[in-house]
Amino acid sequence: MSQKSYTSRLKQDYIRLKQDPVPYIHAEFLPSNILEWHYVIQGPKDSPFNGGYYHGSLIFTKDFPFKPPSIYMYTPNGRFKPNKRLCLSISDFHPDTWNPAWSVSTILTGLLSIMLENSPLLGSCESTLYEKKKLAMNSLEFNLKNDTFKELFPDLVSEIQEKLEKINEMKKKNEKEASEKSANETNQLDSATNNGTVYNLCTNVIILVMFGIFICIVKKIYESGEQEE
C-alpha cells in the first residue's frame, strides 16, 4: 500500500478520535512515526482499575487498514502482561477476524472492553482485586518514569503530579495524626502510672500511721493491765 493511503487513513482516524473521544482513553501518535500510536486508559470508576493510568501502544504496518496492529500494554495492571503482544481479535494475532472498516477508536474501545473482562487469553494474567487496586495506585509514579508518556501526554502528567501531591499530603497528615495520637496515649499512660505511684505511696503512709496507732493502743492497754495488777 502506498504511503499516502495508510497515512491518510490514520490521520482521518486521529481527527475522528479527537472529535469523538473514546471514554476513558487518550491516544497520540509519535510525531516522527505515524505508524506508532500510544494510548492511555484511565480506569473506569466502577472497575478494579479505578484511579489507574495504563499506558500502551498500537504498532501499525503500512498495510493498514487491511491488516491489524500489534497491541502492547506497558503499565503493570493485573490483567495483561506488560510489554507483551496481546492476543486479541482486534490485533495482529488474528488477521482472519480483522475488519478493515475498524478504526483506531474501534480498536481502543475493544481493548478497554476486553480489559474489563476476566476471560483468559494469550498475554493475559491473573490477579486479585487487591492486587489490581494496588497496581492502579502504583501506575501513577510508574508512568512518570516513561519519557514517551511524558512527551505525548503532558496534560495527564500534570494531572498525575497533582494527584501524587494530594496523596503525599494525606500521608503526612495521617502520619502526623498517628504520631500525635501515640504521644497522647503515652502521656496518658505516664499520667496513670504517676497517679498510681502517688496513690500507692499515700496508701503505704496511711498503713504505717494506722499501724503506729495500733501499736500505741496495744502498748497503753498492756501498760494499763500491768498497773491494775
pLDDT single digits (tens) 122-154:
889 999 999 999 999 999 999 999 999 999 999
Position 229 scores a pLDDT of 45
78-131 pLDDT, tens digit per residue, is: 999 999 999 999 999 999 999 999 999 999 999 999 999 999 998 899 999 999
Q: Locate cell 495504563: which residue?
A: 54
For 20-41, what is each residue's pLDDT tens digit? 999 999 999 999 999 999 999 9
Structural domains for the chain: 3-150 (3.10.110.10)
When pLDDT is averaged across residues 212-226 and rounded to a whole number, the result is 55
Tell me which residues are annotated as active site: 87
Q: What is the mean pLDDT of the chain?
A: 88
Q: What is the 3-state secondary structure (H, E, C) of the chain?
A: CCHHHHHHHHHHHHHHHHHCCCCCEEEEEECCEEEEEEEEEECCCCCCCCCCEEEEEEECCCCCCCCCCEEEECCCCCCECCCCCCCCCCCCCCHHHCCCCCCHHHHHHHHHHHHCCCCCCCCECCCCHHHHHHHHHHHHHHHCCCHHHHHHCHHHHHHHHHHHHHHHHHHHHHHHHHHHHHHHHHHHHHHHHHHHHHHHHHHHHHHHHHHHHHHHHHHHHHHHHHHHC
Q: Give pLDDT, residue 218.
A: 45
**How distant is the alpha carbon of residue 163 from its chain centre?**
11
